[in-house]
A and B are shown apart, each in its own frame.
Chain A
Amino acid sequence: MARSLYSTAFYREILESVSADVLRNVRINKGFIIWMGILTISLAACLYAYTLQLHKGLGVTGLRDATSWGMYIATFVFFVATSLIGMLISSVLGLAGVTWIKPIARIAEIIAVAFAAIAGLVIISDMGRPDRLPYLFMFGRVQSPIVWDVTVVTTYFFVSLMLWFIPLIPDLAIAKSRLEGRPKFLVKAYEILSINWVNHEKQFEIMHQAMRILLILIVPLAFAIHTVTSWLFAVTPRAGWDSTIFGPYFISGAFVSGTAAVIIAMYFFRTSYRLQKYLTDDHFEKIGRVLALVSIVYIYFNINEFIVPGYKLKAHDAIHLRELFIGHHALLFWGTQLLGLVIPVVLLLISKMRKPLPLLLISIFVFIAAWFKRYIIVVPPQEHPYLPIQNVPVEWMIYKPTVTETAVTLASMILVLMIITILSKLFPVIPIWEIAEEEASVKEKAEIN
């Protein structure tokens, strides 16, 4: 694109209005302090639960020898899944030349960064000996999928962080002179983080190159993190986990929960940051279609995952499926499948349902169901191992999450909210320069015609 655009008067005008709209929210106000205060207090309460766990052992959870992975692992899978949306929006749609994603790409990256960062912490909360975490690096064995998982999740987090930060640099340069009345440290941070950005043509060139490399790199990386996460289950010989389609099954499911998360975040920023001009009804209409598409793909994988073993009914598959369809987990299973997948898809086919508010409500259902879906994937296959569970106390046979365990899980969710809050409140949530450039070039074209 011709850089001469930047010197035009109407570009400056657009830039002023966009940056005014977006930067209006970049401030530490009462709401922010109260909200962070509430989060911090709840986090402290939940962390107390974790100290209990550290002190007394994992026995404070409902986990026992039979079901030894529960809420923590379900939450881990859910977080990794949700973080995949960064790749779908910025990379898959971005590289395909879809332009409407521009205002929401940064929201998607914020979600990717927040969920990927905390996913690693969730895994630590599940460890019996978190003090031995360094052993993973000292004695790590390449054969173990856990080592693969740690490697790719960490890499994905850093690449996502870069994908959030690099397009932010021009915005930081734009914003640093427009931050009157903000705390000094924030202005200073903007100055340092904008790393001498002067809108030079060469700088744009380097940025576009770096972004291109990262956007391509993150595709296999994102596939790797969730495929490997699915292999934590699929490499074991348990009925319910022993599946060859677990990789794509997990990835297609990941896009569902991630898209729902982006829609919820979009709605929140649109209303509370008054960004209706940038996050328009049209954006909701389009992301609603994306949600419908990824949900339909996920339904397809669900059909494969349940109908094929359901047709053969091999002894242990039969026990597992009976528990899901009509047994102990039936309510949760049909709840997640119908309320979180089938009904949303049917509703999303109606264009009125893709308006912001109905879409938000649908997304909330989809998002919550996505967590329970991970629970359904993780817990039930462990309750019916090949050999019977006998001669143990009754509470060792069936998994029931405890309050302590729930609190520790909530702590991880609070941390995600904190990261999202900081990234979206202290930094522009809409890419100013990209929107201004887009608007200006549209205007320029219109004038030429």
Chain B
Amino acid sequence: MSEEIKKPESDDEKIDETLESSRRDFLKKVGLVGAASVAGAAAVYSGYRFEKNKHKDDTVKVLTEDNRLVEVPREEINDIKYQVRVLHTKGREGIKGKKWVMVIDLSKCRNARKCVNACQSAHHLRPYEYHINTLVMQETVNTPKYYMPKPCQHCDNPPCVSVCPVDATFKRQDGIVLIDNERCIGCRFCMAACPYSARMFHWQEPLNAESDKDKLYNVELNVPQKKGTISKCLFSADRLRENALPYCVSACPNGVFYFGDENEDAVTNGTTKETVSLSELLEKNGAYRLMAELGTKPRVYYLPPKNRIFDFKEGEKTEYKETT
């Protein structure tokens, strides 16, 4: 039985030998071609390395999102622009390391309402739908009237966020309170809870419902706006993402708004583009916050309307009139 098996085995060995020799030949040839191409590639690569190393010292130190200081070659820096979809998560987190703050100088406001208009056109709102509104204020009959721009106060202890049943409105780590209108169920508990009346609701189809229909929702711009959901001031989170000042701040012709980062202790005036120390600005001008006694800890500071540079004009633009 064993012989029967051996016989064919020896035949196989013969075939194997011939195969083996031809394989060896082949490998030799391939080896030659391979060696040649490796040498060529090495030459090309070393050339590339040389080109690359020309700028070896040309690096930049960059602070990463998680607060690490790293060094990267200058030409490898790419500007990142988040896709709108990515913002659904990034927009909830906020911009790391920032604490946005706004200062409103009431002595400079003359009710030009450029902030209101810029905001409404950016967020696709009707003339009577407000993220920011300029109000006529008067403390007592003996004190003068003044104009007060009123955005969302972006409270650090926001009553609106506490009461939201579905996490549609939330506080980001950079201090901004946002609303996700793809989550909002329209219960309006946040409106009831907000002492600053900062929120608005879409009681009807939003202004540009038809033309915005196919746009991807951007949580940092809250566009497209949606019927049956809340909308509110976002501190122009989309502009901050691009290192630009908020729409209202840069639209003001009168230097009313300062905006900046509390961590850097610096705020920039939207009109003059002058950057000043936040703490100094607040201290020297007797800054205050609206209804601080409620414990909401607003991120918007007001400088009192003293030494006003514009006169208060009675009855100017205080009542909305339908112009269409």
A residues in contact (CB < 8 Å) with B: 56-59, 63-66, 68-69, 126-129, 132-133, 135-136, 138-141, 143-147, 150, 232-233, 235-238, 241, 382, 385-393, 396
> Which residues of chain A have C-beta atoms less than 8 A from B291's C-beta?
386
Most central of B135, B203, B290 by chain A CB within 10 Å: B203
CB of A58 within 8 A of CB of B201, answer yes
CB of A135 within 8 A of CB of B201, answer no
> Which residues of chain B have C-beta atoms less than 8 A from A396's C-beta?
128
CB of B317 within 8 A of CB of A391, answer yes
Q: Contacts A56-B204, A237-B294, A390-B136 hold; do A135 and B183 have CB atoms under 8 A apart? A: yes
> Which residues of chain A have C-beta atoms less than 8 A from B322's C-beta?
393
Find the B residue at minimum CB distance from A385: B197
> Which residues of chain A have C-beta atoms less than 8 A from B183's C-beta?
132, 135, 139
Question: Would you give 5 A-B contacts (Cβ < 8 Å), ordered by A?
Answer: A65-B197, A65-B200, A68-B191, A132-B186, A237-B195
Q: Which of A128, A138, A389, A390 contacts B202 (CB 8 A)?
A: A128
The answer for the CA separation of A177 and B256 in the assembled complex, in Å, is 84
Tell whether B59 is near chain A: CB-to-CB under 8 Å.
no
The answer for the CA separation of A392 and B318 in the assembled complex, in Å, is 9
For the complex of A and B, the 9 pairs showing the least CB-CB separation, nearest first, are A128-B186, A128-B228, A59-B203, A146-B165, A144-B165, A59-B204, A139-B166, A129-B186, A236-B193
Q: Which of A57, A133, A389 contacts B205 (CB 8 A)?
A: A57
Q: B112-138 interface mask toward A, CB cutoff 8 Å, 1 = contact, 0 = none?
A: 000000000000000010100111110
Find the B residue at minimum CB distance from A65: B200
Find the A residue at minimum CB distance from B170: A141
Find the A residue at minimum CB distance from B182: A132
CB of B186 within 8 A of CB of A391, answer no
CB of B195 within 8 A of CB of A391, answer no
Tell whether B187 is near chain A: CB-to-CB under 8 Å.
yes
The answer for the CA separation of A66 and B128 in the assembled complex, in Å, is 13
Find the B residue at minimum CB distance from A56: B204
Q: Contacts A57-B228, A387-B135 hold; do A135 and B166 have CB atoms under 8 A apart? A: yes
Tell whether B309 is near chain A: CB-to-CB under 8 Å.
no
Minimum distance in angstroms from A322 CB to a CB of chain B: 17
Q: Which of A56, A146, A386 contacts B197 (CB 8 A)?
A: A386
> Which residues of chain A have C-beta atoms less than 8 A from B159's C-beta?
235-237
Q: Contacts A135-B166, A136-B166, A390-B318 hold; do A69 and B205 have CB atoms under 8 A apart? A: no
Find residues 149-195 in chain B having any chain A CB closer than 8 Å to their own CB: 150, 159, 162-168, 183-189, 191-193, 195
CB of B201 within 8 A of CB of A393, answer no
The answer for the CA separation of A232 and B163 in the assembled complex, in Å, is 9
CB of A64 within 8 A of CB of B189, answer no
* Inter-chain contact total with CB atoms closer than 8 Å: 146
> Which residues of chain A have C-beta atoms less than 8 A from B193's C-beta?
235-237
> Which residues of chain B have C-beta atoms less than 8 A from A389's C-beta?
197
Q: Which of A56, A127, A139, A382 contacts B186 (CB 8 A)?
A: A127
The SS class assigned to the B binding surface is loop
Q: Which of B134, B136, B185, B290 contacts A128 (CB 8 A)?
A: B185
Tell whether B50 is near chain A: CB-to-CB under 8 Å.
no
The answer for the CA separation of A257 and B201 in the assembled complex, in Å, is 33
> Which residues of chain A have C-beta atoms less than 8 A from B191's C-beta?
65, 68
> Which residues of chain B have C-beta atoms less than 8 A from A238's C-beta?
192, 195
The answer for the CA separation of A261 and B220 in the assembled complex, in Å, is 50
CB of B203 within 8 A of CB of A146, answer no
CB of A68 within 8 A of CB of B201, answer yes
Minimum distance in angstroms from A64 CB to a CB of chain B: 7
> Which residues of chain A have C-beta atoms less than 8 A from B167's C-beta?
139, 141
The answer for the CA separation of A133 and B186 in the assembled complex, in Å, is 10
The answer for the CA separation of A56 and B228 in the assembled complex, in Å, is 10
CB of B228 within 8 A of CB of A387, answer no
The answer for the CA separation of A232 and B165 in the assembled complex, in Å, is 11
Minimum distance in angstroms from B217 CB to a CB of chain A: 14
Q: Contacts A69-B192, A144-B189 hold; do A58 and B228 have CB atoms under 8 A apart? A: yes
> Which residues of chain A have C-beta atoms less than 8 A from B199's C-beta?
65
CB of B166 within 8 A of CB of A391, answer no
The answer for the CA separation of A133 and B166 in the assembled complex, in Å, is 10
CB of B197 within 8 A of CB of A391, answer no
Minimum distance in angstroms from B136 CB to a CB of chain A: 6
Q: Which of B165, B185, B196, B317 contacts A387 (CB 8 A)?
A: B196
> Which residues of chain A have C-beta atoms less than 8 A from B294's C-beta?
237
> Which residues of chain B have C-beta atoms less than 8 A from A63's C-beta?
203
> Which residues of chain A have C-beta atoms less than 8 A from B26's C-beta?
none
Q: Which of B130, B192, B227 contacts A236 (CB 8 A)?
A: B192
The answer for the CA separation of A257 and B320 in the assembled complex, in Å, is 42
Find the B residue at minimum CB distance from A387: B197
Q: Which of A126, A386, A393 contacts B187 (CB 8 A)?
A: A126
Q: B297-324 interface mask toward A, CB cutoff 8 Å, 1 = contact, 0 = none?
A: 0000000000000000000011110100
Q: Contacts A141-B164, A144-B165 hold; do A57 and B185 have CB atoms under 8 A apart? A: no
Tell whether B268 is near chain A: CB-to-CB under 8 Å.
no
Minimum distance in angstroms from B296 CB to a CB of chain A: 8
Tell whether B222 is near chain A: CB-to-CB under 8 Å.
no
Q: Which of A136, A241, A391 contacts B185 (CB 8 A)?
A: A136
Most central of A57, A126, A133, A232 by chain B CB within 10 Å: A57
CB of A129 within 8 A of CB of B229, answer yes
The answer for the CA separation of A393 and B323 in the assembled complex, in Å, is 11
> Which residues of chain B have C-beta atoms less than 8 A from A127's C-beta?
185-187, 228
Minimum distance in angstroms from A158 CB to a CB of chain B: 21
> Which residues of chain B have C-beta atoms less than 8 A from A64's C-beta?
203
> Which residues of chain B have C-beta atoms less than 8 A from A139's C-beta?
166-168, 183
Find the A residue at minimum CB distance from B185: A132
Minimum distance in angstroms from B189 CB to a CB of chain A: 6
The answer for the CA separation of A351 and B121 in the assembled complex, in Å, is 69
CB of B197 within 8 A of CB of A129, answer no
> Which residues of chain A have C-beta atoms less than 8 A from B128's C-beta?
391-393, 396
> Which residues of chain B have C-beta atoms less than 8 A from A382's C-beta?
192
The answer for the CA separation of A428 and B322 in the assembled complex, in Å, is 60
Minimum distance in angstroms from A326 CB to a CB of chain B: 20
